[in-house]
Structure 1
Amino acid sequence: MKLDFKSLAFGYSLRNGNSTPAWETSLGQGKGYKLKEDNSINELVKGMIYKAVPSKSVSFKKGKGGAFVSGEDENSSLVIAAVFDQVYINEQQIYGGKFILLISKDDSKSHSGRLKLKYGPDNKYVCNGDVLQNQMFIDLVKKQMGMSSDACWFVSDISILEQDKLVLKTTIINPNSSEEYEDSQAHHQAWDIAESSDSIDESLKKEELDASIESWYKTGINETISRNRIFFGAPGTGKSFTLNKERKELLDDGADRNYERVTFHPDYSYANFVGTYKPVPTKGEDGKDSITYEYVPGPFMRVYVNALKSGKTVNPKPYLLIIEEINRANVAAVFGDVFQLLDRDNDYISDYAISTTNDMRSYLAQELNVDENLVETIKIPDNMFIWATMNSADQGVFPMDTAFKRRWEFSYIGIDDALEEMSDEIKGNKHTLGTGSNARYVKWNDLRSAINDVLSSESYNINEDKLLGPYFISKSILESKDNAEFIKVFKNKVLMYLFDDAAKQKRKTFFEKCKDEVKGVRYSDLCNQFDTKGVFIFPEEVSKRFTEKPTTEEAAEANEE
């Protein structure tokens, strides 16, 4: 449907005359203002019926500079309102763009009853608390088409395809700045020439699309926050806790949605992480189970696509990929060529692009609604964050080379950093270890600190990353008053870790009080003696710190639990 001249236009002025767009076009003229016999209008009306929304959910301005009226107001003269979520500027879809079309009936004395198609920037739609306005779409067009805020462009035709696709035939006069004309005649003549010559040639379209792709990479989000980051420290120091806390601060209102978490393990691969072409079960045309092949994205590619989609919007959001235990897999093999993307420039965009495979390219083009040639190479956008945790003290982990490490910012979580977050209830919670004359009251944090002090002394010289963090035992156990459960967990987690890992090389010395002259130190004997000896299975430097004894009744009660 042809629009009235300059009724949907931007970025121009007249030295002599009025340059304010009308933001509407009449659908019928002549006696009775009946609809024109025009196939484009028929398709327009059918599409608006198909995409109709309740009148009460829309509002708009009546006439130039008029006051806002609600669609449910009897004075609004609204006939129908529709919201389209598949909108195209010529052949390019505006991802995330939504456009509101209205048909109202003129109630002026001179044109009473005339139907008008209204598409002004002030058209507003509210649904479930979300506010949508055509001005938001206009801003999005400029962003995705690579135009400046005062660019000169206009829409000359509106059509609806398949009842749900809105196409705006657009001519861009000047993508970089506004234009000024002497008068309406000169204005009309210049734009007629531009439209008839289809001023946007293929090379310009490609330049604009290329610029659009680059604009998705640079959103300006949280410029001071590290993009590639690894949280590391001893077991139980709260690495995941700290990461999750900062995740909520980063993502804010998207904290529960805009991220994905993956845990690396020795068999994890590039195909798992990035994606691969693989068989997928489906239903055939006959309804029977069948197998097809398609590109299945991994967590990296899923977060990457969501970040790019968000970058195409007026209000982009940060997206976060969380990798737990990053060094438990062979990172060189898992990241593959994505490793190259981790180098970021001053704008936090990948310094170097990588080429996409055919199947990856096809997937990206489909997800982003762009031509495949625009995703022949990719970069990580500035709104994509990759954070990971690692424990360098774990046995059997894969080493990281220097080239991989230098692409990350390492955030060390100290052995006692999490104490600030630990409640007074946990810190003060007492447990009874040992029986009879060996029974002692013990607070978890005091025992942990005593063990750490001995392990890090010159006698043992154990690295800090092998010591015990405040949450080596889970928070739920530390909060519990169940003495028997605490003893069980202490044996199964703490004693096993000390025996098999932290004190492994000097277990005969560390557990000397449990050593048998013939058998040496066995884990089963260690657990059995812990039940009766409690803290006295440890070196004297540990046990001497615990002098508070429970009464006979309290000790008996604790052992009965």
Structure 2
Amino acid sequence: MLNSEQIHAELNKLGCALEPGKNNPSYAYEHFLGNGKYLYVKRKANGSVDKAPLVLHPDCLALRPIIDRIDGLSVTWQKVKSTSYRRYPKDNGASQYGYDANVSTGQALSQLVALLTDSAPVRQTNTASTYQTASKQKDLPMHPLNQILFGPPGTGKTYATTEMAVRIAEAEWFQNISETHDGDALREAVKGKYDELVKAKRVVFTTFHQSFAYEDFIEGIRAETDEQNNGLRYEVTDGIFKQLCNDAAVKVQVASTESVSLEGKRIWKMSLGNTLGGEEYIYEECVKQGYALLGYGDDIDFSDCHSREAVKAKLEDIYQSPVANNNYTLTSVHVFKNQMQQGDLIVVSDGNHKFRAIGQITGDYEFLETDERVGYQQLRRVNWLRQYQPSLSIEHLFLKALSQMTLYELKPTTIDHARLEQLLAPTGGQESEHKPHVLIIDEINRGNISRIFGELITLLEPDKRKGGADARSVILPYSKEPFTVPDNLYVIGTMNTADKSLAQLDLALRRRFSFVEMMPKPELLSDFTVHGVSLKEMLTVINQRIEALLDAEHLIGHSYFMPLLNMPETEREQALADMFRNRILPLLQEYFFDDYQRIGWVLNDPAKQPDHRFIVTDEALRDHLPKLDKLFPAEVAEQLLDRRYRINEKAFASAEAYQGIVK
């Protein structure tokens, strides 16, 4: 095994040197990997450390399945705490911590560094991990399964999720497009791809709020209209997280790799057995045998019934009673026997909110002779083109909710033909790819995490996900179904630190998410001026004053100023005035709880002429207001500090008001 001094030397050779000009902790070498990442090597005053000298960042636990396959590297995966690991997070508010490791070869150390710096990712082979390589043809960056972008308002957190989602969901596409596009052209291309992924339900965006609940996120009971009985029924409905988990985990059985034209074909919705009534075997029989079965019509053979009237006559003859024209057995048998044609498509529903197969009719009506049952004996031969396990949510294909009816035609206003063509597009294999799916949760800290996630917060952990080293499942309270989180579902959250401090954030999130800080970037405003004032300098000095008076969590982001960059210079002055009046000043009022004196300090008002101040105080205001001794008894007025302030509307159009901010 390599000792601490040998590992220290090897890391230096790999270019992971100590940062120049920075002191190292007393009992560790702090090796900088770049992009805010570090590795620690234990050290002591005399001699080397031989036992577990390397300390990995806590986030590496998410990489455990990959790291454990590196020959020559052995990680205990037991927490070791020390204040020397100052760049690592604290363990529930206690000391910083990491994971002890032994290294036996320089090659193993090189592989670890390559993995942590994304310079040459180690490939996965059928194993769950917090990171996933999206292409088998080329090495692509890997991404944490759970991450939160945090920072003050206006730092572009939500804006950044668009590119991050595309990077994750279509890593190879993004790498290729970024080689040929940049700037606005790249952003436009990425936004187009993002919209495609949203439409394909591979990216889902939601926002947490105080009323958001478990029933919205995981599953809940909803009242539905029963069209056949003209009443209400109550069904378990999947929430957005469960839907996306099911979509990410779905396996698509592909029976045909050839394209299917929709031209001239009618499309039918059909139920194959009652999924809630113990008739799941009907669907399984149909898929296995290559046909569709209609439950209506009992054991009657309708082979000689070539019209609705003929079907009605046979039913009346068999039952020896009149059959109404709106009788659903009559309607469904006639449609199944006479209206559905060879070449038409069938979409098989799974309840009212999912579908589980798509098939093409290949034969005329047949009667199924069987002694096993009465019913489900009306048969049409079907080539099952696609089968989905678990079922897909209707949002993947339908424009409207499904009806309870067993069989009916899907009109153009009900089904998205473009999406159907995509689902039936030629594929290269018999089973779909395990494609990444992304859930974006904006304002994640504004929701009640324990109320929203419930017992599923544990399942987010990489090793607890399906296929993980410690994979777990839970029984959901409403559906009573086992549920697990797939390893190809990525969760990106955003949180505004001015809205709720990280210190107050639910510890369940802190332990399970990687946190990426996003701070204001005044450098993006370089070379742009308004009223002769550099926007970069203005934002920088405002934020310096806010940080001195409050903290870094309440800075102002650069995105407030970004719209000014795309305007003609003649329009920027009015736009800046509107922005200060409607956005910057209200934000400062919120930050300082309407303490106008401090707001004036942030805008450097005391150093300006009275007419150029955004916040009017002192004699300029009091000349127009009654004196305190006119409002209160003399003994009270003498004890009061006049706190009356007003916003000076004229300052918003004054060049000197903005120039005075930085002078």
What's the TM-score once normalised by structure 1's chain length?
Answer: 0.46
Higher relative contact order (Cα pairs below 8 Å, separated by 6+ residues): 2
What's the TM-score once normalised by structure 2's chain length?
Answer: 0.40
